[in-house]
Amino acid sequence: MKQITHSFDYQVFDSVHELQSADGELLEKAKNAIAGSYAPYSRYHVGAAVKLANGEIITGSNQENMSFPAGLCAERVAVFAASSNFPGVPVASIAISAISDEFEVCEPVPPCGMCRQAIVEYEMKYNNKIRIILGGHSGKVFVFQGMSSLLPLAFHEEGLTK
Ligand code: THU
């Protein structure tokens, strides 16, 4: 038996004002994208902004459905739109933010497991770590250098073949 430990580093900023300007601008775009959210069921509105290696910024927001599982998170709306419109261009970074109709979102929004898997795919595809900027409506901001740290032992291509 062998014990294996995975650990990861991330940066914690007390507010958006402490971020380097490129991260702060991308988080602002994620906040603006919240306007497109369709979330009548959870009343939790998420925005995501993806920056590509060519500088293009593509945004997305969560889209819910009365058949609940048919809905999609903001992050996947954004990365799938980015990949559809700019195939072959690596993803450099993604910022995420949210507001709720019920309460003040003052913690950084952690992407769900499916979004982590969806995002890590583009990291693997381009062999290029994606910078992750997680904010709330207010409060601290977390910055991660690479999604793979948030999804250790992710399912990968080799898992599909012997
Ligand atoms: N949601 C996102 O868009 N991204 C996340 O990372 C977490 C959750 C959405 C899905 C659903 O529309 C609402 O937030 C509540 O779960």
Is residue 156 pLDDT above 90, yes or no?
Answer: no
The answer to whether residue 1 sits within a structural domain is no
Q: 71 CB less than 6 Å from ligand 1?
A: yes
Q: 63 CB less than 6 Å from ligand 1?
A: no
Is 75 tagged catalytic?
Answer: yes
Q: Average pLDDT for residues 8-29, to the nearest whole number?
A: 97
The answer to whether residue 61 sits within a structural domain is yes
pTM of the model: 0.95
Q: Average pLDDT for residues 63-83, to the nearest whole number?
A: 98
| 157 CA → ligand 1 middle, Å | 26
Residue 158: phi, psi to the nearest 5? Answer: -60, -20
Q: Which residue's alpha carbon is nearest to atom 5 within ligand 1?
A: 111
Number of domains in the chain: 1
Q: 46 CB less than 6 Å from ligand 1?
A: yes
Q: Percentage of the chain surpassing pLDDT 90? A: 93
The answer to whether residue 160 sits within a structural domain is no
Look up the CATH number of the domain holding residue 90. Answer: 3.40.140.10
The answer to whether residue 27 sits within a structural domain is yes
Residue 25 · residue 49 · CB < 8 Å: no
Q: Which domain holds residue 37?
A: 20-151
148 falls in which pLDDT band (50, 70, 90)? confident
